[in-house]
């Protein structure tokens, strides 16, 4: 809802940002702790399909098995399932070299290792789910000032651009990578440009090669090239969402090619592992960077999702990392309430930070290492990559470790056991 300028309202939790991470946080909080008074502050008007389209675009996410369990536990998955596409096999290879590794869901007793969903469809599913809860919206609106509590028991005071002044026991900042509230909090961040950009497109191929049919129709590819990785994520029969990473200059050139020329250029870069590319959609262009923050918390405030970290899309871990942020925070808050503790206290927020730092650092370093390793030219780096991929294929322990991290199911994530989604 939108409140008048002279309103001074108190909430238990205010979520700044009504995108994917912010909405999921609000839903999770109301699912686990229905008594909480939760508000969302969002700068983009949410009334029309056009604004939904702008907030939640057609970029696709590879939702890990662990993320799906949380989405299912919070009743989002039933809304999303009809528009998702399962990943049953993942094939990773190095262009021009023999090394490759393959992971299959059946080897881990699963129907799928994850699902592919567009950001638009996930956003619509979240909005449909959110309608079932009493969430207070300040929209269009955004935070312009914060007053840090002078005493431990006092709430954080939030001033909005509309003139509304609100108070909250906890402020959750989920505004994305370029968060203005993070700047207001004076939380330093370090951003490293990869000097790479991603072209996003959907493509259709002819019938898959015979040797691929044995793996089924739901195969995802991660192919490393000296110019950058290329991911093919299944979104239908012989259809893929493509994330093609390359230099910013080359990406701009390829983005503007006509459809036939683009298909030809992509085919040359990726090869024929998924068949001959015969059709493509419009292309989008996104520069890539790595962002780290000095801390995840401030007084009665917590950062999560892309506000807290951005990683290279090389292994499809960015949004899944944010989902784990949300899962940990929601269950920390639930536990605090069960123990009659202050949900915005330093002890609660510091517990969240401690539980998240190792996972964030591990995924950040892993994706960064992959980007740099597979970009190195020369025979020795190529030999190292080939040996590594072949070792993964032959060593069950290493492959299981990688698979568990991709699926978001590693024991160190320590998320609660949710009802298993039927993937």
pLDDT of residue 410 exceeding 50, the answer is no
Q: Which of 256-260, 274-278, 363-367 has the lowest mean pLDDT?
A: 363-367
Instruction: Enumerate the H helices of 95-159 as residue ranges.
Output: 119-130
Name which residue leads in pLDDT, 252 or 421: 252
pLDDT of residue 259 exceeding 70, the answer is yes
Residue range 42-64: average pLDDT?
69
Which pLDDT does position 94 carry in this prediction? 72
Q: Most confidently modeled of 21-25, 151-155, 188-192, 414-418?
A: 21-25
pLDDT of residue 420 exceeding 80, the answer is no
Which pLDDT does position 47 carry in this prediction? 62
Task: Give CA–CA dist 63/23, Å, rounded.
Answer: 16
Task: Give CA–CA dist 211/216, Å, rounded.
Answer: 10
Closest C-alpha among 9, 301, 300, 15 to residue 135:
15
Q: With H, G, I as helix, E, B as strand and everything else as coil, classify residue 13.
A: strand
Residue range 257-269: average pLDDT?
96
Model confidence, pTM: 0.87
Which pLDDT does position 381 carry in this prediction? 47
Where along the chain do its domains lie?
8-191+289-413
Which pLDDT does position 412 carry in this prediction? 41
- pLDDT tens-digit series, residues 39-48: 999 999 876 5
CB neighbours of residue 280 within 10 Å? 18
Please compute, for residue 314, the number of CA atoms within 13 A of its CA located in the half-sphere on the CB side: 27
CB neighbours of residue 147 within 10 Å? 14
Which pLDDT does position 57 carry in this prediction? 58
168 is written with which tokens? Answer: 């909250």
Q: Which helix (H) or strand (E) holds 234?
A: strand 230-236
Q: Which of 56-65, 282-291, 322-331, 342-351 has the lowest mean pLDDT?
A: 56-65
- pLDDT tens-digit series, residues 160-206: 999 999 999 999 999 999 999 999 999 999 988 888 999 999 999 98
Task: Give CA–CA dist 416/401, Å, rounded.
Answer: 20
Which pLDDT does position 213 carry in this prediction? 60
Buried b (16+ CB within 10 A) or exposed e, 235-256: beebbbbbbbbbebebbeebbe
Q: How far is CA 397 from CA 99, 321, 337, 411, in A?
A: 18, 23, 39, 15
326 is written with which tokens? Answer: 């949300």
Q: Which residues contact residue 408 at a Cβ distance below 8 angstroms, ignoring those fewer than 6 apart?
A: 64, 65, 66, 67, 320, 323, 324, 415
Q: Which residues contact residue 110 at a Cβ distance below 8 angstroms, ignoring those fewer than 6 apart?
A: 65, 407, 423
Percent over 70 (pLDDT), the chain: 79
pLDDT of residue 401 exceeding 90, the answer is no
Q: How far is CA 30 from CA 37, 290, 308, 417, in A?
A: 8, 32, 22, 18
Instruction: Enumerate the H helices of 16-136 as residue ranges.
Output: 20-32, 49-55, 65-73, 77-81, 119-130
Residue 61 phi/psi, 5° resolution?
-115, 135
Q: Which residues are bridge partners to 244 per DSSP? A: 199, 230
Would you place residue 5 in the very low, low, confident or very high pLDDT band (cuts 50, 70, 90)?
Answer: very low
Closest C-alpha among 296, 289, 295 to residue 310:
289
Residue range 109-121: average pLDDT?
89
Task: Give CA–CA dist 358/412, Å, rounded.
Answer: 9
Which pLDDT does position 390 carry in this prediction? 42
Which pLDDT does position 211 carry in this prediction? 62
Please compute, for residue 4, the number of CA atoms within 13 A of its CA located in the half-sphere on the CB side: 2
Which pLDDT does position 284 carry in this prediction? 93
Percent over 90 (pLDDT), the chain: 58
Task: Give CA–CA dist 261/274, Å, rounded.
Answer: 18
Task: Give CA–CA dist 368/290, Å, rounded.
Answer: 8
Q: With H, G, I as helix, E, B as strand and everything else as coil, classify residue 27.
A: helix
Q: 8-191+289-413 adopts what CATH topology?
A: FAD/NAD(P)-binding domain (3.50.50)
Residue range 254-281: average pLDDT?
95
Q: Are 74 and 362 in contact (CB under 8 A)?
A: no
Name which residue leads in pLDDT, 8 or 143: 143
CB neighbours of residue 177 within 10 Å? 16
98 is written with which tokens? Answer: 């023999």
pLDDT of residue 54 exceeding 80, the answer is no
């Amino acid at each position: 809802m939108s409140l008048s300028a002279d309103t001074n309202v108190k909430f238990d939790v205010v979520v700044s940002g009504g995108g994917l991470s912010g909405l999921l946080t609000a839903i999770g909080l109301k699912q686990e702790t229905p008594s909480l008074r939760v508000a969302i502050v969002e700068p983009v008007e949410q009334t029309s399909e056009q604004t939904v389209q702008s907030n939640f675009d057609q970029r696709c996410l590879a939702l890990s098995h662990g993320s799906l369990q949380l989405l299912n536990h919070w009743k989002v998955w039933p809304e999303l399932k009809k528009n998702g596409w399962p990943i049953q096999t993942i094939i990773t290879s190095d262009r021009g070299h023999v090394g490759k590794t393959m992971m299959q869901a059946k080897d881990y007793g699963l129907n799928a290792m994850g699902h592919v969903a567009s950001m638009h469809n996930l956003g619509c599913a979240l909005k449909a789910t959110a309608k079932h809860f009493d969430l207070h919206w300040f929209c269009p609106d955004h935070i312009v000032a914060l007053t840090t509590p002078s005493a431990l028991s006092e709430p954080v005071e939030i001033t909005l651009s509309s003139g509304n002044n609100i108070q909250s026991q906890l402020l959750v900042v989920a505004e994305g990578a370029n968060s203005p509230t993070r700047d207001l909090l004076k939380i330093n961040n370090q951003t490293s440009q990869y000097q790479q950009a991603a072209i996003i497109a959907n493509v259709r191929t002819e019938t898959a090669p015979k040797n691929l049919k044995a793996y089924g129709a739901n195969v995802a590819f991660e192919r490393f090239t000296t110019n950058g990785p290329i991911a093919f994520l299944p979104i239908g029969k012989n259809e893929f969402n493509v994330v093609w990473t390359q230099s910013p200059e080359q990406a701009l050139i390829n983005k503007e090619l006509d459809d036939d020329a683009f298909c030809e250029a992509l085919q040359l870069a990726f090869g024929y592992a998924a068949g001959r590319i015969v059709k493509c959609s419009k292309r989008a262009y996104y520069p890539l960077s790595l962002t780290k923050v000095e801390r995840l918390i401030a007084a009665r405030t917590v950062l999560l999702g892309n506000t807290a970290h951005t990683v290279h899309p090389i292994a499809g871990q960015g949004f899944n990392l944010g989902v784990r942020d949300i899962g940990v925070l929601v269950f920390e808050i639930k536990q605090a309430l069960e123990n009659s503790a202050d949900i915005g206290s330093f002890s609660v927020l510091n517990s969240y930070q401690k539980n998240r730092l190792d996972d964030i650092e591990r995924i950040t370093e892993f994706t960064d290492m992959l980007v740099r390793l597979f970009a190195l030219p020369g025979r020795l780096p190529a030999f190292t990559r080939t040996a590594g991929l072949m070792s993964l294929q032959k060593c069950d322990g290493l492959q299981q470790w990688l698979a568990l991290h991709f699926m978001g199911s590693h024991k160190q994530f320590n998320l609660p056991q949710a009802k298993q989604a039927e993937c």
